[in-house]
A and B are shown apart, each in its own frame.
Chain A
């Protein structure tokens, strides 16, 4: 059993508090992804779990054991680094077996486990090579192999895919997921890439400025973002976000943007707002669609605007257009040709707009 728990954990670098009293319970065998922009404290949190950074405040437990004062080697965790950190002076086989050799295992046992790991990761044919003779993807596999031979309680991944090119990254992403199914060990995975987070995670932890913004399953975060930051961070392209203030219009609460555009507040939100409140309202690209192409949501608000730019992607086309002065993006699923400066009518699906209080950033 290897659940990981963080209670009130903080990290200071000089006077800067990189991690601010975070609480986090990671379930046994869970694939948990820490995601956020650079400097959000995700890597520091991971390194504190690994024992590579001192825990300045709070308690970290793996299983039932407190880790605060244990050395990295006493924690039975394995870490995979962004730059692989393979030992360049050792062959792949020696790299894989190093931890077992240090642990004092018998030669036969080491060999058995190394070959087992090499088999899982499909690197058996490279065992005699040095890391410098491997491609990026192969190195990444060796790094993972080195992590699994130890049979650790927890795997820690620190942006393991960011050094790979796009194609290889997708391939390795799938392999990591497969690896998790095979070894079924708790994984804590740090990335700044929300696509990686969405595709890999059982649960995602979104961090910003040293605090946790939201914890949830990928779909939770996508469908029910708790803050404005989570809403814009998760999903690609980013959620369109427009500032507005609440006014009374035709006896109904409405949102008036800085450009004077008035949009009715969705019915279910009418009672949670007050006049004069400053808010942002957001909507995803697929929830504002060009009308003439046959997609019409039920409760809509319509506007006309000219196309700034169109990006055909095959199954869909991203249309960049203006909402007042602010550029937004719309997603069209019909394969039609759209050119710059075409004037289109867009329908916004009001049921799928997200409202956030401008001061607190919290969802309304």
Chain B
């Protein structure tokens, strides 16, 4: 065996170990969703699944009569609706505002530009959860607790800095001459942006959009404070419905977790081409 082969084996070995480390908890969640509670709680653990079923999903979606814990089903469809409304709306607003902001930072010079940029990025260093109390107090004063608008506002605020950062980098990659030539070609500034710079930064905007969506879709800590009822509770917060005072319905919770993962996976696959170009843009294009 020469040095190159040994190297290859080492790389493969480390890659496999890494993938196992990352994937195992996820696989375990998926597996648990299809197993009966007895198997899940068994000691010593049952590693190889003996019988798999769809009871949890039936109960969750159609309110089947024989949930494994015999409890009333949770309003998953309301939660799904809330999640979709909140995630899509907040993503749309964050990408819209963030892209305009990113363009501004990339193309225009104004006083203290770098300081403003730094300030916006610094907001991301504050742990979201530490904001939950102030946000809760403010929202309760102005009646935004347990509303879509309140939660959307929070996600928009969380996602805009990242969107600005990502799209700023993208617009910087587009040569200035591109919009200049468009302007001598007869475009107004806005037309140059719309016809030339926007289509060229599609990948970056798509990446920013996915990240914003995933952050909103997966967020738990803040929403768990702000959402009180089926009016605004999202799927992630809905996971806690499976905990009772003394018991936790693990298979049910995992079934909902699988349900949460699926749309995110589909979306990511749909735009993964953009995502890859989006995140490696600076590296591959000189």
Measuring CB to CB, which residues of chain A are less than 8 angstroms from any residue of chain B?
50-52, 71-73, 75, 77-79, 81-83, 85, 87-89, 98-99, 102-103, 146, 150, 156
Q: A87-B196, A88-B200 are in contact. Are A103 and B186 (CB under 8 A)?
A: yes
Interface flags for B194-209 (1: CB within 8 Å of A; 0: not) read 0110011000000000
User: Is A81's CB under 8 angstroms from B180's CB?
Assistant: yes
Distance between Cα atoms of A73 and B190 in the complex (Å): 12
30 A-B Cβ contacts within 8 A? A50-B180, A50-B184, A51-B184, A52-B180, A52-B183, A71-B183, A72-B180, A73-B183, A73-B185, A77-B184, A79-B180, A79-B181, A79-B184, A81-B181, A83-B175, A83-B177, A85-B180, A87-B178, A87-B182, A87-B196, A88-B200, A89-B199, A98-B182, A98-B195, A99-B186, A102-B186, A102-B195, A103-B186, A146-B185, A156-B184
Interface size on B, residues (CB 8 A): 17
Cβ–Cβ < 8 Å partners of B280 in chain A: none
User: Is B184's CB under 8 angstroms from A102's CB?
Assistant: no
Interface status of B191 (Cβ within 8 A of chain A)? yes
What are the 10 tightest A-B residue pairs by CB atom distance, in nearest-first order? A99-B185, A85-B177, A72-B183, A81-B177, A102-B186, A85-B181, A73-B186, A72-B184, A79-B184, A99-B186
Cβ–Cβ < 8 Å partners of A102 in chain B: 185-187, 191, 195
**Residue in A82, A150, A156 whose CB lies within 8 Å of B185:** A150
Distance between Cα atoms of A339 and B181 in the complex (Å): 53
Q: Which of A71, A73, A156 is most buried by chain B, counting CB atoms within 10 A of its CB? A: A73
Distance between Cα atoms of A103 and B186 in the complex (Å): 7
Cβ–Cβ < 8 Å partners of B187 in chain A: 73, 102
Q: Is the interface of A mostly helix, strand, loop or mixed?
A: loop
Cβ–Cβ < 8 Å partners of A71 in chain B: 183, 188
**B183: nearest chain-A partner, CB-CB:** A72
Q: Which of B177, B178, B181, B191 is most buried by chain A, counting CB atoms within 10 A of its CB? A: B181
Q: Is the interface of B mostly helix, strand, loop or mixed?
A: helix
**Residue in B175, B180, B185, B199 whose CB lies within 8 Å of A98:** B185
Contacts of B64-104 to chain A: CB distance below 8 A: none
Distance between Cα atoms of A76 and B167 in the complex (Å): 32
Distance between Cα atoms of A102 and B178 in the complex (Å): 15
Cβ–Cβ < 8 Å partners of A85 in chain B: 175, 177-178, 180-181
Distance between Cα atoms of A98 and B185 in the complex (Å): 8
Distance between Cα atoms of A82 and B176 in the complex (Å): 12
B189 to chain A, nearest CB (A): 8
A255 to chain B, nearest CB (A): 49
Cβ–Cβ < 8 Å partners of B185 in chain A: 73, 78, 98-99, 102, 146, 150
Known: A52-B180, A52-B183, A78-B184. 8 other contacts (CB 8 A): A50-B180, A73-B187, A79-B184, A87-B182, A87-B200, A98-B185, A98-B195, A102-B191
A80 to chain B, nearest CB (A): 8
Distance between Cα atoms of A78 and B182 in the complex (Å): 10
Cβ–Cβ < 8 Å partners of A81 in chain B: 177, 180-181
Cβ–Cβ < 8 Å partners of A72 in chain B: 180, 183-184
**B178: nearest chain-A partner, CB-CB:** A85
